[in-house]
Structure 1
């Protein structure tokens, strides 16, 4: 038996949402490909100053929740997640048949009826939340781990909102599983995140943009020991300066490369295959009511992508998603409408293409995968 992450979502500081947890049941449906007999959850209160009270967490694979198991900590069904902390619950006996959805029902509260530690996704193909005020909203529960005999591959997706939205990353996982490579999802994307510096500027969302990607990569990704890392980060380093943040924060090509090399070296040191994705175009996008694209930024993006293409395992998504008649902008099929983010259809198409490239690179061998059920 081995313990595998079957789902993980990195949280950020969404205090701006003023979400009230008290009396609100959180229901998650997690799509996953494995089988197993024991399970644990990771709970997150990392960005809050008050303890999170766990009133109840039940887990089931029955949509009617008729045969549920109670999640505990130190054999207690009610406990707290201390302010600023994350913790793993007890491992509980829970039989999961191959490919069965995991259904979680949780009730949390805290003293001020506000939580900041959370995530907001667009895709719900891997995880679906019943709380929809701000897209696919998740709080409290950040990971699910399963004891299994299936040699699944855990793939970490690192980046900003293009990763956080989930369209392309969920599609990669879906397409790999369809091709016989059993893989689970690990989303370490944070909307607004930059590689070179922390969230700053005039946006009311700046606290949720997180610390610099270079400073969170070790903890959020490498320390989780995934089998493969797919990285798409650096676009906000160009998008934000001069609009939502000071132009002085715009990195040079050399600075962007220097910071990106740190990611590559950390992954190599941990012996984790690292797959960089080139930065897509963003002309005609706006930030804080101002055009975010300039010729200077385009020159940096182009030069950075040229360097990235000299690195091992790089996948050129820029070439896949750009407008054939204007290389500075997204093709309409991939454009959500804001000329920066992927549409659902475009993200899903891109995910299929990235999955094919990962298989072509032979970084994760299908031959080594076991199909034995627990």
Structure 2
């Protein structure tokens, strides 16, 4: 498990003004075997790795307001940057009086050299411009530029900035030298911009191109009371909820730039219905992610061109993407549909899973969460009959139903969220309700995401 380079947390500031070579080597992706005897050992090793990587002071004093889960890239992805600025937009779920930025070189094989980082409020509806008067320099250990060793992430020093809840931040990262895009969150459902030269400090940039991924950016944390609340929320009431899942959590099929993923809508419910302005909701979803196995595309298949974006198995990445989040107290787990659907398409046929396999995987996550003092809530898997990708078979449906029944009734999770009941068609309960179907029979649309968020009991997060 890669370790994290982190400067001392330091106090909240007073208020005031790969790299691998560009000719890519082939990427070899190993599968995680589903063996009943490995669960306890895996739980112990991942928890220990998280303990080594986490910044304890960061977790105590700061609350995550935005995050994404990183992956590596396929050999065919030749995306690279050189003497260019990435202006990337992220959406806050809770506000504060100061922030920190987390850069990542998790999958890089060479040092990541960052020439400058700046942050400000993004002009609404335009990811290229920063609201006047909000631009701030971001430093790491008191300096820029900063170099991240391969396999590491690094938090910035605290930055004094009033950060509203539900605001867009523009994070500008200047990359002075040829830099392969080895560490990415492929599906941002957000328009980000690439501009020539070091224009990180410019109020507005002329984009050479627009991308819908996040590069080298892993998180934002805040401290202090949100400026858009009267009383705010003190650090004692601060917490973060992590949504841990696949493409449905990541926001596939939602409106780009509108922040209508179910975790986004949940954050708005917590604020508007429960007055929970101090609670962050962090999205750790990855499109194509499986609970039990790493990507393992069949040799020579088209899946070799995209499978590495699916990320490490949920049981392996949990420590990195959930336990290492600042002020994480709760996690909602929605995984399993890709374990059912990938074999024979994006993975070998012999990787078909049983209900017992998936339940053991859920138990691994429960053990990892409880070992770190988090409450963990299981979400039922959505129906997929009639989907365009061929995920559905009667045999897989039987497994889905068995796992969902276990999530609902076994009592091993601290709480449950019944996304299946919230999204299925009452007349055909193995299918999504047509009003919630994006059109592929698998991913909910914006209305479906709202229905999912509405199904989350807010009293889980006390």
Q: TM-score with structure 2 length normalisation? A: 0.71
Looking at structure 2, the residues matched to 345 and 271 of structure 1 have their Cα atoms a distance apart, in angstroms, of: 34
Looking at structure 1, the residues matched to 428 and 134 of structure 2 have their Cα atoms a distance apart, in angstroms, of: 56
Provide the secondary structure at the position in 2 that maps to 1:363. helix
Deviation track 1:54-74 (CA, whole Å, cap 9, x = no partner) reads: 121112247334442211122
Deviation at 1:123, TM superposition (A): 4.7
* Residue equivalent to 1:253: 355
- Deviates further, 269-278 or 8-17: 8-17
1:23-102 correspondence to structure 2 within 5 Å: 23-36=84-97, 38-61=98-121, 63-92=130-159, 94-96=160-162, 98-99=164-165, 101=167
1:274-353 correspondence to structure 2 within 5 Å: 274-287=376-389, 291-310=390-409, 311=411, 312-353=414-455
Looking at structure 1, the residues matched to 216 and 174 of structure 2 have their Cα atoms a distance apart, in angstroms, of: 7
Change (3 A) 1:100 1:168: closer
| 1:174 matched to 2:275 | no
Provide the secondary structure at the position in 1 that maps to 2:453. helix
Deviation at 1:212, TM superposition (A): 1.3
Change (3 A) 1:320 1:334: same
* Residue equivalent to 1:372: none
Provide the secondary structure at the position in 1 that maps to 2:144. coil
* Residue equivalent to 2:183: 117
Provide the secondary structure at the position in 2 that maps to 1:301. helix
Deviation track 1:56-102 (CA, whole Å, cap 9, x = no partner) reads: 1112247334442211122222122222221112223x131553736
- Is the Cα contact below 8 Å between 2:71 and 2:312 reproduced in 1? no
- Deviates further, 162-171 or 27-36: 27-36
Looking at structure 2, the residues matched to 208 and 110 of structure 1 have their Cα atoms a distance apart, in angstroms, of: 25
Looking at structure 1, the residues matched to 268 and 193 of structure 2 have their Cα atoms a distance apart, in angstroms, of: 22
* Residue equivalent to 2:7: none
| 1:184 matched to 2:250 | no
Change (3 A) 1:103 1:210: closer
**Whose strand fraction is larger, Structure 1's or Structure 2's?**
1
* Residue equivalent to 1:161: 247
* Residue equivalent to 2:221: 145
Looking at structure 2, the residues matched to 97 and 342 of structure 1 have their Cα atoms a distance apart, in angstroms, of: 31
- Deviates further, 97-106 or 128-137: 128-137
- Deviates further, 54-63 or 336-345: 54-63
Looking at structure 2, the residues matched to 271 and 162 of structure 1 have their Cα atoms a distance apart, in angstroms, of: 26
Change (3 A) 1:30 1:316: closer
- Deviates further, 249-258 or 148-157: 148-157
Change (3 A) 1:17 1:347: farther
Deviation track 1:172-203 (CA, whole Å, cap 9, x = no partner) reads: 11111111122212111111111111111231
Looking at structure 2, the residues matched to 280 and 134 of structure 1 have their Cα atoms a distance apart, in angstroms, of: 32
Looking at structure 1, the residues matched to 176 and 364 of structure 2 have their Cα atoms a distance apart, in angstroms, of: 38
1:186-201 correspondence to structure 2 within 5 Å: 186-201=282-297
Deviation track 1:301-334 (CA, whole Å, cap 9, x = no partner) reads: 1111111111341121111111222222211122
* Residue equivalent to 1:104: 170
Change (3 A) 1:134 1:268: farther
Give unpaired runs (5+ residues) of structure 2.
Answer: 1-11, 13-60, 123-129, 195-206, 226-232, 252-259
Give unpaired runs (5+ residues) of structure 1.
Answer: 366-374
Looking at structure 1, the residues matched to 66 and 280 of structure 2 have their Cα atoms a distance apart, in angstroms, of: 6
Looking at structure 2, the residues matched to 80 and 257 of structure 1 have their Cα atoms a distance apart, in angstroms, of: 41
Provide the secondary structure at the position in 2 that maps to 1:219. helix
Over the aligned positions, Cα root-mean-square deviation in angstroms equals 2.4
Deviation at 1:216, TM superposition (A): 1.4
Looking at structure 1, the residues matched to 439 and 210 of structure 2 have their Cα atoms a distance apart, in angstroms, of: 19
Provide the secondary structure at the position in 1 that maps to 2:328. coil
* Residue equivalent to 2:65: 6
Provide the secondary structure at the position in 1 that maps to 2:219. strand
- Is the Cα contact below 8 Å between 2:93 and 2:264 reproduced in 1? no
- Deviates further, 65-74 or 38-47: 65-74
Looking at structure 2, the residues matched to 7 and 31 of structure 1 have their Cα atoms a distance apart, in angstroms, of: 6
Q: TM-score with structure 1 length normalisation? A: 0.86
- Is the Cα contact below 8 Å between 2:185 and 2:213 reproduced in 1? yes
- Is the Cα contact below 8 Å between 2:189 and 2:213 reproduced in 1? no
Deviation at 1:29, TM superposition (A): 4.5
Change (3 A) 1:219 1:121: same
Provide the secondary structure at the position in 2 that maps to 1:12. coil
Match of 1:129 among 192, 196, 209: 192
Provide the secondary structure at the position in 2 that maps to 1:257. helix
